[in-house]
Structure 1
Amino acid sequence: MEINDLVPTPAPALDPTALAALVRQVQGPVLVPGDEGYDAERTGFQLAYRHRPAVIVGAECADDVVAAVRFARDQELPVAVQATGHGLSVATDGGLLISTRRMNDVRVDAAARTARVAAGVVWGQVIEAAAPHGLAPLNGSSPGVGVISYTLGGGVGLLARTYGFAADHVRSIDLVTADARQLHVTMDSEPELFRALLGGGHGFGVVTAMEFALLPVARLYGGQLVFGGEQIDEVLAAYLRWTETVPDELTSSLALIAYPDIPQLPEPLRGRHLAQIRIAYTGSAADGEKLVAPLRAVGPRVSDDLREMPYADSDTIHRDPSDPHTYDGDNALLSGVDVEALRRVAALTGPAAPVMCVVQFNHLGGALAGPGQAGAVGHRAARFALRVLSPLDGSDLATVRALHAEALAVVAPWWLGRNVNFLLGRHGERPDAAQVARSVHGAEEHRRLAGLRALHDPENVFRFHHAASGAADREPAVAASVPR
C-alpha cells in the first residue's frame, strides 16, 4: 500500500447519465473505482503515491482530452493529468484523472530538425526516432521520463551546458484550456502564455502535443568514472576544481550513493559508498580523454567505462532505474559551493545516515545561463544543483525529509532556489508548500505566473501541483495539469 492510500476517501457520486455520455464520446477507456484496470491506470513510476480519482479517462487523442475536461467542469471535478507518473506533487483525491500514456505519436522532420510529440511520449521514443537522421533531442538522463512535463519544467539534460534548457528549443504547444478549447500556442500567437509555459507550464491547461528542435548530435564521448568511498573527499575536491576548467561542450554530474548490503545488488556495489562522475561530451573522444585526465589522476577506479558511443546509448551514462519504485527527494540550485560543504553533505548522507540517500551534484552554467526564449525557467544563473533522493520502502517520510533538509541546509550560503523537475514526491502537500512553490521561480515571478493561471483557469479546474499551495493570492490554490 502506498502512502496516500493509508486514509482512503470515498469517491464523490457521479451522474450516471453524464458518465455514460462520456464513455460514448471518448475513444479510450473510462474507469471508476472497482473497474478492472482502474488501479493499473492510476499507477505511475512513483509508487509511494498514487492518484485516487473518481473517474479516469485514458485519452487516445486531443478530442478525448476535450471531452474529459468538459465532463469535469460539468460535474465540478478538479482535473489531474498523468503520463509516466515520475513526478507527483499533489495526488488527486476524488477528481478526474486524464491518463495520456496512449497518446504516443512521434513525428520527426529531419529537414527541419524538429520533432512533434503527443502528450504521452517518453524520451526513449524520440531518441529512437531521431537517431537515424543523426539528430538528438535535449532529453534527460532517463529514457522513460515523459517529454511534456520534463520540458515544461525547463528540462536540464545530458547536453544542457552545450544547448541550454529543453524549454529553450520549443516551437509550439497544443493546449486544452480550462473551458475545453484547443489552442495552438506559439511565440507569435500567444507570446505571454507561450513564455509562461516554458519553465512555469504547470497549471495553464492540458498539453496534448509539443513541437521542438532537434540537435545535430549523433555521437557522444561519455560514461562513468566510479571511485570507492575512501576516495570521496579527494574526488569532491578534484571534481569541484575540474568544473572550473571544462568547456561548455561537456556536461557532467557527480553522484554519491551508499548502497545497502543486500543480495539483490551486484557484488561490486553491495554495501559500498561510491562516487560516480557522469560525463557527456560532444567533442571528439581524443579531446574527451584529455579533459578527464585530471579526474583519472585521483587514483584507481572501481570502474571506468568512458568511451565514444552513439547518442542512442546515452541512457547508459546515468543508468537510472527503469523499474517503478517509491522515493522522495528535494534539491537546491546554488550560486557556488566549497568542498568542505560537499564533504559535510557526503558525511550526512553516507553509510551512517538513518536512511539510504542518493546525492547528485550537477554542474550547470554554460548555455543554461543564457536568455533562452525569455521563458519562465527560474534561477538561470545557478552554477550547480544539489539533489537528494531516498527510497521510501520501509523508511519513515518524516525521517527522510528531515535528513534531506539537514543536508541542503549545509549549502544555504549559496542557495538560490529549487528546480521544479527535481522536486520528487508530494511537495505540494508539505506544511511549507507555499515556500517550496515560490522557491522555484522567486516570489515576484511566482506571483506573475499565479496571475496568469488565474486568468486562464478562473474556476481552478487544474489544481494538482506544487504551485497549488504556493499562491497565497488565490483561493482555492493554483494548480497544475500537465502530464509527468
Structure 2
Amino acid sequence: MTEQYSDHRPPTSDLDRQAGLADLARAVTGSVHTPGDAGYAAGVTGFNLRSGHEPLAVVAAADSSDVRLAVQFAATHGIPVGVVSTGHQPFPRQKGFLLITTGALRSVKIDAERAVARVGAGVRWAEVVAPAHEVGLAPLSGSAPHVGVVGYTLGGGLSPVLGRSHGWAADHLLSVELVTPDGVLRRVSADAEPELFAGLRGGRSNFGVVTELEFKLFPVTSFYGGGLYYPAENVAAVLDAYAQVVQDVPDEFTVSVALLNLPPLPEIPEVFRGKFLAHVRITHTGTDEAAEKLIAPFRALGAPLVDTVGRHPFSAYPGVHADPTEAAPYEEQSVLLTALPHEAVAHVLDRVGPESGSPVGVLEIRQLGGALTGPRASAAVPALTRDAEFIVWGATVGPPEVVAAGEADLRSLLTDLDKWATGGKYQNFTGREDVAADLFTAAELDRLRELKRRYDPRNLFRVNNHTVAPEHGAGTGD
C-alpha cells in the first residue's frame, strides 16, 4: 500500500528540493543520504527486513538540532516525515517521504536518588538495564534487550517481569522531548502541555519526532524464573497446564507460553534444531518457594528438554524469552482476549500446533491482568487494550511464500478467537496493515484528531501504520 501524499501548500519543484537537501546536508552534524549513497541502504534497513521503504532521503540525526532542521526542511517543502530508531515494527511500504533516523541519540542518564532514567531516542533497553542494575534499579523493559526504548514505551510497553505488578511502561513516563511539525523542540509532561503528553502515549509518531524520554525506575534487582522447554508430544498438556496456572496468580508472577516451530538451521542449538517446542516463560519477583508452588502444574509434566528456571539478576531477563537478535524478514499478527477458555486453546492447537503443518514460527499466549488491566490500568494505553486479560501473538519468518502461508494461518486463528476478543489490538504487537481504527475507540480517535489539528494540521507526520488524520475519513486508515 503506497499512500498518495498531498499538501495544502503549493508544491516545491524537484530542483528546489534538491537544493534544500544540499543545504540540509551542510547544516546537520549527522548526515543526509539519497538513493545510491552508501548510507541510504543502512538507513532504510531496520530489524524487519521486509519493510523496504524508498524515502526521498534519509537524515541520520546526530542530535535534537539535526532533527529540528530535518523537520523544518520537510515542512518547507511539503514532504511527509517518517521516523525509525531500531525498525522493529513494520509499517506499509512508502515512497517519497523524508526518513529521520534517531539511532545515534544514545545518551543515558540514571538518577539513582530520584529513581529516574533520561534516555535519547536511539537507546535500546540493554543500555538502560545495565547502568540501572548497578544502582539497584530496574526499568519496565520488554523481553528483548535490543528493542528501542522510545517506540516500545509510547506504544504502551509490556514488561514480562514487572508489567503485571506496575502496569504499562507508558504509565510511568515523566516527560517527552520532541520536535513538533512546526520545527520547535518541546519538553512536555503532565504539567507542561499535558494534552500533547497524553496523546503521545499511544498516538506515538503522529505528533513529532521524539528525541528524549524520562521515566521511572523501580527497586528490583532479581527475579525467580526462566524457561521450560517441552517437546512436541507435550504441547497439549503444557497448554492445559498453562490454562490452569493462570486462573489465580499474584501480580508479581507472570507466565506465558510460546509454541516454537524451529527450522533446521545450524545456528540453532542442536537440542532445539528443526523441532516443535512449547516454551514456558516464567518470571516472579517474590520468593523462590512461592514461584515453585505456582509452576507446580508444569513440573508435574515431567522433566523438560531444557530448564533454566532459577534465581537470576534482573539484568539476565533476556534469557527468559530468548528473543531473536538478528534482523530477519517477518510478519506478525495478534489479538487481545478477555478470557482463555478450553475452546480457545483447542483453536490454537488446531491452527498452529505440532500436527497442523503450519509454517508459523512462533505463537505466544501471554497473560495480562494485574496493573495492566481494568481500573488499575491508567489511560496511557487505549481502552481496548486495558480491557484484555490475554494477548495472543504470532509471527512467521522466512521467504515470501512461507511468510504468506503463515500470515494466512494466523489470520484464520485470529478469526477463530474473535468471540473472546476485545475488538482492539496492542499497538506494539500489530501487523503491517493494522491502522489506528484497530487500536482506539471512536472517542479516543476524536481526541487524537483534535490534537492533530492543533499540532499537525497539515498531517506532515503520516508515514506510519497508525496514522491519525486531522479530519475523519482523510484516507489514512483511522
Could you tell me the TM-score, scaled by structure 2's length?
0.92
Find the partner of 2:167 among 164, 169, 183.
164
- Structure 1 Cα separation of the partners of residues 16 and 358 of structure 2: 45
* Matching residue of 2:347: 344
- Structure 2 Cα separation of the partners of residues 202 and 244 of structure 1: 37
Find the partner of 1:366 among 361, 366, 370.
370
1:210 aligns with 2:234: no
* Matching residue of 2:382: 377
CA contact (8 A) 2:370 2:376 kept: no
SS at match of 1:104: coil
- Structure 1 Cα separation of the partners of residues 71 and 342 of structure 2: 50
Question: For residue 227 of structure 1, what is the amino acid of its counterpart?
Answer: Y
CA contact (8 A) 1:221 1:285 kept: yes
Call closer, same or farther: CA 1:451–1:353 in 2, change over 3 Å: farther
- Structure 2 Cα separation of the partners of residues 478 and 63 of structure 1: 32
* Matching residue of 1:27: 29
Call closer, same or farther: CA 1:205–1:215 in 2, change over 3 Å: same
- Structure 1 Cα separation of the partners of residues 149 and 296 of structure 2: 35
* Matching residue of 2:7: none
- Structure 2 Cα separation of the partners of residues 307 and 257 of structure 1: 22
Compute the displacement of 1:295 (Å). Answer: 1.7
Deviations 1:322-355 (A, max 9, x none): 0000110111111002123213212311343342
Compute the displacement of 1:232 (Å). Answer: 1.4
- Structure 2 Cα separation of the partners of residues 388 and 37 of structure 1: 32
CA contact (8 A) 2:157 2:428 kept: yes
Find the partner of 2:399 among 383, 393, 400.
393
More displaced, 234-243 or 263-272? 263-272
SS at match of 1:324: coil
* Matching residue of 1:439: 438
* Matching residue of 1:402: 408
* Matching residue of 1:95: 97
CA contact (8 A) 2:116 2:216 kept: yes
* Matching residue of 2:425: 418
Compute the displacement of 1:24 (Å). Answer: 2.1
Question: For residue 90 of structure 2, what is the amino acid of its counterpart?
Answer: L
* Matching residue of 2:466: 467
Residue identity (%): 39
CA contact (8 A) 2:137 2:221 kept: yes
- Structure 2 Cα separation of the partners of residues 469 and 288 of structure 1: 43
Give matches, 1:76-115, under 5 Å: 76-115=78-117
Give 5+ residue unaligned stretches, structure 1: 5-10, 428-432, 480-484
Call closer, same or farther: CA 1:287–1:13 in 2, change over 3 Å: farther
Deviations 1:72-128 (A, max 9, x none): 111211100110000121333111110101000000000000000111111010001
CA contact (8 A) 2:108 2:127 kept: yes
Could you tell me the TM-score, scaled by structure 1's length?
0.91
Matched residues, number: 463
- Structure 1 Cα separation of the partners of residues 278 and 16 of structure 2: 53
- Structure 2 Cα separation of the partners of residues 177 and 295 of structure 1: 50
* Matching residue of 1:146: 148
* Matching residue of 2:453: 454
Question: For residue 403 of structure 1, what is the amino acid of its counterpart?
Answer: D
Call closer, same or farther: CA 1:72–1:112 in 2, change over 3 Å: same
Question: For residue 222 of structure 1, what is the amino acid of its counterpart?
Answer: G
Compute the displacement of 1:471 (Å). Answer: 8.2
CA contact (8 A) 2:79 2:98 kept: yes
CA contact (8 A) 1:438 1:470 kept: no
CA contact (8 A) 2:139 2:218 kept: yes
Q: Larger RCO: Structure 1 or Structure 2 (Cα < 8 Å, ≥ 6 residues apart)?
A: 1
- Structure 1 Cα separation of the partners of residues 194 and 471 of structure 2: 26
- Structure 2 Cα separation of the partners of residues 107 and 90 of structure 1: 34
Call closer, same or farther: CA 1:470–1:269 in 2, change over 3 Å: farther
Compute the displacement of 1:14 (Å). Answer: 5.6
SS at match of 1:202: helix
Compute the displacement of 1:272 (Å). Answer: 2.0
SS at match of 2:321: coil
Find the partner of 1:52 among 23, 44, 54.
54
- Structure 2 Cα separation of the partners of residues 201 and 468 of structure 1: 9
Question: For residue 440 of structure 1, what is the amino acid of its counterpart?
Answer: L
Deviations 1:289-333 (A, max 9, x none): 222222211223111110111111111111100000011011111
Compute the displacement of 1:377 (Å). Answer: 3.1
